[in-house]
Amino acid sequence: MISPIQAPELHAGDALLLVDVQNDFLPGGSLAVPVADQILEPLNRWIARFSTAGLPIIATRDWHPPNHCSFAAQGGPWPPHCIAGSPGAEFGAGLRLPADTPITLIAKGTDPGADAYSGFEGTDLDARLRAAGVRRLFVGGLATDYCVLNTVLDARRSGYEVVLLERAIRPVELHPGDGARALAAMAAAGAQLLKD
């Protein structure tokens, strides 16, 4: 299990990475993560902190074509979700993204024949982070056991420090215990858990 840490000071080289906080993963969505709405207020506090500090905020989003390979009709495990341009693909209304802070948007899962749980997979996220001088990522979003897990593992493989925001993640738990196993895998990869 990940050993919890105290809230670190923010400094140059830090960025906030919001993973797939989209309507289809929130209550009422086509692939709703249980109690996912509970992550919104903790995320909003972090958004405000990063915005005030003038540090980068990046938001990934599933941006699927209607015939994406992850959908059940194409043999995938999931119902249709986050179809590009649909209301379900929009960021949750309760997520307070500041109008005066530039938000870097990363669209993933855009190829109908390729799944992409990680924000790094098939995107220019790594190049954008390096161009901005980012070395440490504070990560929250959905879901712990899929897109958060894979994004964190890729971030660690790419050499970024990762602080996982425990109050701002929730698992989908397709199989019981998936959330705990995801946390263990991220810990083994060197991610730190922040309980605040």
Calculate mean pLDDT across residues 51-67.
96
Calculate mean pLDDT across residues 119-131.
97
Q: State the chain's mean pLDDT as an integer.
A: 95
CA 191 – CA 85 distance, rounded (Å): 33
pLDDT at 95 over 90: yes
Q: Which of 177, 156, 3 is nearest to 148 (CA)?
A: 156
What Cα–Cα distance (Å) separates residue 48 from each residue in 54, 99, 170? Answer: 10, 11, 21
Catalytic positions: 20, 108, 147
Does 3.40.50.2300 match the CATH number of domain 12-194? no
Share of the chain above pLDDT 90, in %: 91
For 128: left if phi > 0, alpha if psi spans -120 to 50, otherwise beta; the answer is: alpha
Calculate mean pLDDT across residues 16-40.
98
The token pair at 81 is 């979700």
Position 3 scores a pLDDT of 56
Q: What is the pTM of this model?
A: 0.95
